[in-house]
């Protein structure tokens, strides 16, 4: 098995995730977005990844990032935020993936309001990790490392 040393990985975050730490801390915890970025990049380095963490409130921007990732064969950790439940444009962009894509959620959508129980992304993702707080991202990065070393 080969190590994914130097492999670029995108960690993409949808709407409102830039407000981590102040947004509903009872649901999303007290970790700030800056802390999330630091934790992802640090673990990424340990796993041999070059992690780039991005956040947008724009569906168009997210679609463009997913197109870029598909064109560049770049693995993605994706927290679609509210786009999870209705963005078919994002789903179609993510379906073009040419490398693993792992959907993540900080909270467990199935333990929340009923409208959050549907993900249009899950069916085209390599897998979904949810409900482990910020640790969901760390689990996703570890899963990516495992998938990439098995190739």
pLDDT, tens digit, 9 for 90 and up, residues 30-89: 678 899 999 999 999 999 999 999 999 999 999 999 999 999 999 999 999 888 877 899
CA distances from 33 to 59, 64, 90, 91, 148 (A): 19, 22, 22, 24, 27
Predicted model pTM? 0.86
**How many whole angstroms separate alpha carbon 110 and alpha carbon 147?**
26
Q: Is 107 annotated as a binding residue?
A: yes
Annotation says 67 is catalytic: no
**How many whole angstroms separate alpha carbon 75 and alpha carbon 82?**
21
pLDDT at 2: 46
> Residue 15: which pLDDT band, with cuts at 50, 70 and 90?
confident
> Residue 25: which pLDDT band, with cuts at 50, 70 and 90?
low
pLDDT at 59: 94
Q: Is 85 annotated as a binding residue?
A: yes
pLDDT, tens digit, 9 for 90 and up, residues 105-123: 988 777 667 866 678 999 9
Q: Is 117 annotated as a binding residue?
A: no
What ranges do the domains of the chain cover? 7-149
pLDDT at 21 over 70: no
Catalytic residue among 28, 86, 88, 110: 28
**How many whole angstroms separate alpha carbon 29 and alpha carbon 46?**
24
Q: With contact defined as beta carbons under 8 Å apart, do 94 and 66 qualify?
A: yes
Catalytic residue among 67, 88, 105, 117: 105
Q: Is 92 annotated as a binding residue?
A: yes
CATH homologous superfamily of 7-149 equals Dehydroquinase, class II (3.40.50.9100)
pLDDT at 39: 95
pLDDT, tens digit, 9 for 90 and up, residues 122-150: 999 999 999 999 999 999 999 999 999 88
């Amino acid at each position: 098995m080969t190590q994914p040393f130097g492999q670029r990985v995108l960690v993409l975050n949808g709407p409102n995730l830039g407000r981590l730490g102040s947004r509903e801390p009872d649901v999303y915890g007290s970790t700030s977005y800056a802390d999330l970025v630091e934790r992802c990049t640090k673990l990424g380095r340990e796993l041999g990844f070059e992690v780039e963490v991005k956040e947008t409130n724009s569906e168009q921007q997210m679609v463009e990032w997913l197109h870029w990732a598909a064109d560049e064969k770049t693995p993605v950790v994706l927290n679609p935020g509210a786009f999870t439940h209705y963005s078919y444009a994002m789903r179609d962009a993510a379906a073009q993936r040419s490398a693993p894509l792992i959907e993540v959620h900080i909270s467990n959508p199935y333990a929340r309001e009923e409208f959050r129980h549907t993900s249009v992304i899950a069916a085209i993702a390599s897998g979904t990790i949810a409900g482990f707080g910020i640790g969901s991202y760390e689990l996703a990065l570890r899963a990516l490392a495992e998938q990439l070393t098995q190739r």
